[in-house]
Each structure stands twice: as structure tokens, then as C-alpha cells.
Amino acid sequence: MDITDAALAGPGLARIEWARRGMPVLSLLTGRFAETLPFTGRTVAACLNVTAETAVLVRALTAGGARVALAASNPLSTQDDVAAALAVDGGVMAFARAGVDAQTYAGHIHAALDTQPDLVIDDGGDLVEILHSRRPDLLGGVLGGCESTTSGVVRLHRMAEAGALAFPVVAADTTATKRMFDNTCGTGQSVMDAIMRSTNTLLAGRLVAVAGYGGCGRGIAERARGLGAQVIVTEVDPVRALEAVLQGFRVLPMHEAAGLAEIIVTATGSRDVIGATHLPLLRKGAILANAGHFDVEIDVRGLARSAVKITREVRPHADEYVLSDGRRIVLLAEGRVVNLVAAEGNPPEVMDVAFAGQALVLARLARAQERLTVGVHAVPDGIDAEVALLTLESLGGRIDSLSPAQQEYLNSWRAVR
């Protein structure tokens, strides 16, 4: 175990309890798992953002009989009180401290893998990558896993194409429920929350550029517009760019947007979206934030090289870079995933949907019920429908069911006369 301070367990428990109340589906699954014990005898190595919402997922797995080792999936996003609560009160092997260096970060993933997991759950693909490239001796024991985020899924596909992936992994971002809640509603809201917490700046009337119009970029663009900002979208994909235009956004190349925007948010999954060539174009006072999983979207090193002065923490999670021509540029969260570092990530209601699907997938894998081939798989449709129904019920919605006559009608190609 490696946590910052066990004495933080009390506040951590309170934070987890607050999150649990906003996660009705996972709470229901926790009760079910406690009765059916799908994870008995199984060890799960998890590499996730260590947040109160993740703690609710971990508790669902331990209620179902799992032994869980948890490492952080980002060196800055760990909620130290939550890690303490899980370690002290939840019997979880927690390896997570906020602000660790790259070596400790990797060491924590190795420590989680030392438990010889039967199942893995990853966010961004670092655990799966280390498992394959550095700990291949453990691969034979792994039944399968789950990957939470789009950046991780992209990496898994590259691994599978290269013939390097050794077990089945279910890509959680394939579900309609997760995309609907997590990427668009959750990330959109929590990125705005992070920008507001770290800058306390007014969004109304400001020019905001959002790089990338995938699920997350779309949510960020919509929420920024909802707060009164004028929003420019940058894209490399013509279809997505066209969608953005049809939604009323201005679409420009980054070389033009960089010189116009007062706030720029990257959400592309790619690197150097704001790179060396954009730095000379930035407006004075520009605020830069990254919402992608990895800290490669903004060239932070290039920014540091161009700066004559760097003032850390002009506000919490906001560093100011003064360039040689006197322009001040503000970088949020050191260019790491801003909504998890400068705010609390997606709200519980959002993570409820995302994690409920993954808990059900892991339960099937644990029972070796889901005999998946080696490779990257979509979440089985039945699980998505189950999560959608449970979530709908938790929100007070109810649906109709088809009558036998309707079913027959829909299954037939003959005209009804």
C-alpha cells in the first residue's frame, strides 16, 4: 500500500458516501454482487483515476468477493482522502498519491500487478501496456479486462493490430449509454467546472476554441456555448467538422483559432495540438487547458522553453508563462486532464452509468461466462440495455413494451392488409 496519509480516511469516507448517493445503479449492483459473489477468488488490478466515484465501483467489486489492487491512472488526479478511505476502511490495496513523479506512477502500477490479477480494469491503457511489455509472466493468469477511455481503446486497437494483445479486453467507450453520459454531459460539465475553479473567469462573451469534436469536444463546445461563450471548433475530420458547422460552431484551423481564442481547450487524443508553431500566435492572457487523457496535446515543454518566467500556481492549478515578448499565457493543470486535476472529474451520476457497465462486464469475465476471443470487444448489447433501463428507472423514466402483434409486425416483411 502507498497512500499519502491514512488520517485522511474520515473525509474520504464522507466524500465516497456523497458520491454513492448519486450512483443508484452501482449501489443496486453492489447489493446484487453481495448476494451472488461473482468475484469470489478473483483478484482485480485496477488502474483508474482515484476518485470517490471510482471508490464506489471498487466497493461493488469487493462486495462481490474480489480482492482489489488500485493504482492511479494519472499522477495528478488522485483524491488522497479517497485513497486513504479505501486502504484503511475498504481493505483495498491502494497505490495512489497525488503529485507523484513518473517513476513512482509506474511503480504503483507494478505494485498493483504484483497481486497477480485475474482481471484488469484500465483507464488510458498504461496498466495493460506495462503488463504486456514489462510483466509478460503474468499474462497467462489474466482472464480479461475492461478499458474505460477512448484514448486507451485507441491504444488497445494498435496493440491488437500488432498482434501484441494477449487477452480479451472490453472497450467501455463503445456503449451508447457511456457516450451519452460520460463524454458529452460529464466531460462537458466538468471541464467547464475545472476552468471556472482554476481561473474564476467569466465565460460569457469570451472566445473559446475547442480542439476536437469527438464525444468530449462536443460536450465542451456545447457547455461553453451554454455559458455564453462564442465557440470555435478545430478538427481534422471533415465529417465531424461538418457536424460542428451544422450545430452552429465556427470551424477554423488551429493556426487561425490560436490567434483569436481567449481560452483554448484540447480534446483530440492526439499530440502537439497546440505546438511550437502555435505559441507565437496565442493572444496575450490566453488560457490553455487539456481535456484529453494524456498530457501531450499541449506542448508544455515547448511552452516552458519559450518562457522567460514561469510563475507556478498563480491560482490553484494555474501556472503563468511569460514569453519573451511579454505575453502572459496561463496553463491549467500542467497540461494534464483538466477536469480531473482542477475539478473532481465527471459527477457521480455520470460515472454511475460508465462504471455500472464495466462492473457487469467484469462480473461476466470473472465467471468465465463471457468466453471472448483475444482482442478488443464492444460491450455486449444486453449490458448496455440493462444499464440504460436501470439508469432510466433511477431517473424516474419508464418505457412501454411491444405487444405480441407489434412484435410480429416488426418481424415480418409482408404488408399488413
List contacts with ligand ADE (CB under 6 A): 48-49, 51, 53-54, 340, 345-346, 351
Nearer to ligand ADE, 55 or 244 (CB): 55
Nearer to ligand ADE, 64 or 124 (CB): 124
Nearer to ligand ADE, 189 or 199 (CB): 189
CA distance 225 to 208: 9
Nearer to ligand ADE, 306 or 346 (CB): 346
- DSSP annotation string for 249-314: -EE--HHHHHHH-SEEEE-SSSS-SB-TTTGGGPPTT-EEEE-SSSTTSB-HHHHHHHEEEEEEEE
Please report how close the Cβ of residue 324 comes to ligand ADE at its closest, in angstroms: 37
Nearer to ligand ADE, 329 or 353 (CB): 353
Q: N- to C-terminal Cα distance for the chain?
A: 71
* Cell digits of residue 153: 481503446
- DSSP annotation string for 218-236: HHHHHHHHHTT-EEEEE-S
CA distance 223 to 184: 9
Nearer to ligand ADE, 48 or 85 (CB): 48
- Cβ neighbours around 136 below 10 Å, total: 10
Please report how close the Cβ of residue 119 comes to ligand ADE at its closest, in angstroms: 18
CA distance 144 to 332: 36
* Cell digits of residue 28: 443496486
Please report how close the Cβ of residue 304 comes to ligand ADE at its closest, in angstroms: 27
Please report how close the Cβ of residue 49 comes to ligand ADE at its closest, in angstroms: 4
Instruction: Please list, in sequence order, all residues whose beta carbon lies within 8 angstroms of the beta carbon of residue 350, skipping any fewer than 6 positions away.
Output: 181, 182, 185, 186
Nearer to ligand ADE, 123 or 384 (CB): 123
CA distance 183 to 345: 11
In the complex, residue closest to ligand ADE by CB? 345
Please report how close the Cβ of residue 340 comes to ligand ADE at its closest, in angstroms: 6
287-290: strand order across its sheet: 250-251, 230-234, 207-211, 263-266, 287-290, 328-332, 318-323, 307-315
Please, what is the angle between helix 102-113 and helix 126-133, to 10°?
70
Nearer to ligand ADE, 26 or 340 (CB): 340
DSSP state of 8: G
Beta pairing, strands 287-290 & 230-234: unpaired
Please report how close the Cβ of residue 179 comes to ligand ADE at its closest, in angstroms: 13
CB 337 within 8 A of CB 293: yes
**Sign of torsion, CA 253 258 262 266?**
positive
CA distance 402 to 410: 10
Beta pairing, strands 263-266 & 307-315: unpaired
Nearer to ligand ADE, 170 or 279 (CB): 170
Please report how close the Cβ of residue 145 comes to ligand ADE at its closest, in angstroms: 16
Please report how close the Cβ of residue 290 comes to ligand ADE at its closest, in angstroms: 14
Please report how close the Cβ of residue 311 comes to ligand ADE at its closest, in angstroms: 29
Nearer to ligand ADE, 48 or 342 (CB): 48
Please report how close the Cβ of residue 292 comes to ligand ADE at its closest, in angstroms: 12
